[in-house]
Structure 1
Amino acid sequence: MPDGNAEAYLAAAPDGAPAPGVLFVIDAIGLRPRIEEMADRIASWGYTVLAPNVFYRDGRAADVAPKADLREPGNREAFMGEAMQRVRGLTPELIARDLPAYLSALRSRPEVSGDEVGATGYCMGARIAIRAAGADPGVVAVGGWHGGGLVTDEPDSPHLAIATARATFAFGHASNDGSMPPEAVTALGEAIDAAGLTVANEVFPGPHGYSMSDTSMYDEESAERHFDSLRALLDSTLRG
């Protein structure tokens, strides 16, 4: 990486043959067993999945991982105060420095076939996945799940990166998420329409973080719906 070394979890397709690559952008809680479990599931569909520790500047994955069970009352809220400091420190400028290295590492793996790849992002990772598509036309599929702050009034709002993207998008916003209100969902869809790109811009029932079974925000129905939507996106773009 430009500023050090980043750990990553790699999940290969089950038959061992080279497969289309997918960049898995983690949530604010970090690289941990739940992320590995999700990456393994995506890989089982016939993909090679790379999930880097995007907080590598703050320490190794084990250093920043939660020590308490985030399914227990109050623990997630207590941990998120610390986690959000790392999120705020990961500025758009740093993300722009890091994304080429992540994508290069993914494409260089012998387990990956071809230069066209997908990206799937969770919570703040959805913002990074959008920026990946805006910066690299070889990112041809982007999934964003319970993403927060995808549309802002700032000049570097993530949704503005869509103007230079060439990807197909699928979003599963959380119905109970103040960081992505209905007007932001609408604006996101309008930006993708204006770019002439295809999008599934849906709202799933449940709270921000619904896909993370190791936290109190988990919603099984929406988590499974996200997997179905993501698989359809990847199959239709990376497998034609």
Structure 2
Amino acid sequence: MPDQRGSRQNTVFPSGGREAHGYLARPPQGLGPGLVLVQEWWGLTPYLAGVADRFAAEGFTVLAPDLFGGDTTHDRAEAARLERELPVEQAVQDLRGAVGHLLGLEGVVGDAVGVVGFCMGGGFALLLAAAEGDRVAAAVPFYGLPPDREFEYRGLTAHVLGHFAEHDRSVPMKAVDEAAIRIGEATDVRPEIHFYPAGHAFMNEEDLLGTYDPLQARTAWLRTVSFLWGHLG
């Protein structure tokens, strides 16, 4: 069963006429660009809240929506069920609500935000960028693509930095290359894609899949922070 006690919620924001929940982390200086952080299939775990805190320490105001409504898990089968049962339209609506909420917060600078997502969240990062157009200036998917591999990406104007693993059965390199081509065909965006000699979820320090790679994680982190500041700063 999902562990509802594990979800890290500390804020509420409007989403399509209802309330959505999430985790908000602010930078030490109080001012910074907005960043939407999209969870893995494990849910809005303490680990993901820690990632939000890391981005906040780098100077971003971070909002991680709780797409599973409080459920978290460390069980792969349960995580797969939670992801499978998540309505895509509802998730995108909550993510769009997060963009609007961030842009309205005191201390958030600029008229566009960035989005970073991991695994399931990587696909949603691209869906959000396509849905929000100019309100998302930078999108960074980690080893994740939209559930519909034929997604057209129309509306996406954000700069895209993709981090993917060479040894990833769930997101093979061919699928990544095809997605980059589709983005280029549908938009004026030319994604910057990096492949790492690692497995899926190589960034996740909890190492639930046994694929965490600290060296590749560090490289991807530095690239991501530099990229976000380059397009949001």
Using the size of structure 2 for normalisation, the TM-score is 0.85
> 1:76-126: per-residue Cα shift (whole Å, max 9, x none)?
5xx111111111112332233323212122222213122210000000001
Aligned counterparts of 1:192 and 1:91: Cα–Cα separation in 2: 23
Return 5+ residue gaps in structure 1 as ranges.
67-75
Q: State the partner residue of 2:98.
A: 102
Q: Does 1:171 align with 2:171?
A: no
SS of the aligned residue for 1:85 comes to helix
Q: 2:202 aligns with which of 206, 210, 217?
A: 210
Return 5+ residue gaps in structure 2 as ranges.
1-14
Using the size of structure 1 for normalisation, the TM-score is 0.83
Q: State the partner residue of 1:131.
A: 127
> 1:160-187: per-residue Cα shift (whole Å, max 9, x none)?
22x2111000011111211221221111
> 1:132-176: per-residue Cα shift (whole Å, max 9, x none)?
1101121010001121556625xxx3xx22x21110000111112
SS of the aligned residue for 1:136 comes to helix
Q: State the partner residue of 1:186.
A: 177
Q: Does 1:143 align with 2:156?
A: no
When structure 1 is superposed on structure 2, of 143-152 and 203-212 the one drifting more is 143-152
Deviation at 1:201, TM superposition (A): 0.9
Q: State the partner residue of 1:235.
A: 229
Q: 2:149 aligns with which of 141, 148, 152?
A: 152
Q: Which amino acid aligns with 1:53?
A: D
Q: Does 1:9 align with 2:40?
A: no
Indicate the percent of aligned positions where both proteins have the same amino acid.
28
**1:150–1:184: 8 Å Cα contact kept in structure 2?**
no
Q: Does 1:34 align with 2:47?
A: yes
**1:22–1:50: 8 Å Cα contact kept in structure 2?**
yes
Deviation at 1:3, TM superposition (A): 7.8
Cα 1:148–1:196 shift into 2, 3 Å = closer
Q: State the partner residue of 1:116.
A: 112
Q: Does 1:86 align with 2:99?
A: no
**2:124–2:146: 8 Å Cα contact kept in structure 1?**
no
**1:148–1:179: 8 Å Cα contact kept in structure 2?**
no
Larger fraction in strand: 2
Q: Does 1:65 align with 2:72?
A: yes
Aligned counterparts of 1:43 and 1:49: Cα–Cα separation in 2: 6
SS of the aligned residue for 1:46 comes to coil
Q: How large is the Cα RMSD of the aligned pairs?
A: 1.9
Aligned counterparts of 1:179 and 1:149: Cα–Cα separation in 2: 12
**2:37–2:52: 8 Å Cα contact kept in structure 1?**
yes
Aligned counterparts of 1:182 and 1:30: Cα–Cα separation in 2: 25
**2:180–2:190: 8 Å Cα contact kept in structure 1?**
no
Aligned counterparts of 2:211 and 2:20: Cα–Cα separation in 1: 27
